[in-house]
């Protein structure tokens, strides 16, 4: 199986298994950009670990699945780009998700926590550090 496809399947499976709580504040535009800009977001996984994404102020996003042992299946580290479009946080990776743009609605659930819903309906939880 092609590693990019395998990555997409594994990520979709892992992230779709994380429940999302209902009470949250929708973020959009400038609020959304300010919430993630220059921060590291840790996506919760059903395996008891976290997948870190670093949203740099330059518009670059880096991901690293090394600690989760994902190097067996695909390139565990990659850098792409991120931006805010309306009410969505969008990102694009060179090879992850076959290079396709994915966008997310972000709902703030606390000062350092959030829920997300990806444009394909997948959802999950994360924590954020500044």
- Domains of the chain, CATH where assigned: 3-129 (2.40.128)
Q: What string of DSSP letters covers 43-75? A: EE-TTS-EEEEEE-TTSEEEEE-GGGTGGGTS-
| pLDDT (0 to 100) of residue 109 | 95
pLDDT tens for residues 58-104?
Answer: 999 999 887 776 655 566 789 999 999 999 999 999 998 899 999 99
What pLDDT is recorded for position 42?
95
Cβ partners under 8 Å of residue 41, min gap 6: 52, 53, 54, 55, 114, 126, 127, 128
Of the pLDDT bands very low, low, confident and very high (cuts 50, 70, 90), residue 3 is very low
User: Could you tell me the pLDDT band of residue 127, with boundaries at 50, 70 and 90?
Assistant: very high
Q: Which pLDDT score, from 0 to 100, does residue 17 have?
A: 38
Q: What does the DSSP 8-state code read for residue 121?
A: S
**Token pair recorded at residue 96:** 């992850």
pLDDT tens column, 9-40: 444 434 443 444 446 788 888 999 999 999 99
Phi, psi of 63 (to 5 degrees): -125, 150
- Over residues 37-55, the pLDDT tens digits come to 999 999 988 777 888 999 9
State the pLDDT at residue 23. Answer: 64
Return the ∠ at Cα 124 (arms to 20 and 38), rounded to 5°: 120
């Amino acid at each position: 199986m092609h590693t990019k496809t395998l990555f997409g399947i594994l990520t979709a499976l892992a992230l779709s298994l994380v429940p999302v709580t209902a009470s949250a504040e929708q973020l959009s535009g400038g609020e959304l950009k300010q919430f993630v800009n220059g921060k590291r977001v840790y996506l919760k996984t059903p395996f008891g670990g976290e997948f870190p994404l670093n949203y740099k102020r330059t518009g670059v996003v880096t991901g690293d699945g090394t600690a989760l042992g994902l190097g067996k299946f695909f390139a565990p580290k990659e850098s792409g780009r991120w931006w805010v479009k309306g009410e969505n946080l969008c990102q694009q990776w060179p090879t992850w998700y076959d290079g396709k743009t994915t966008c997310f609605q972000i709902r703030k659930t606390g000062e350092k926590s959030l829920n997300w819903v990806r444009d394909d309906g997948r959802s999950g939880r994360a924590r954020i550090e500044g």
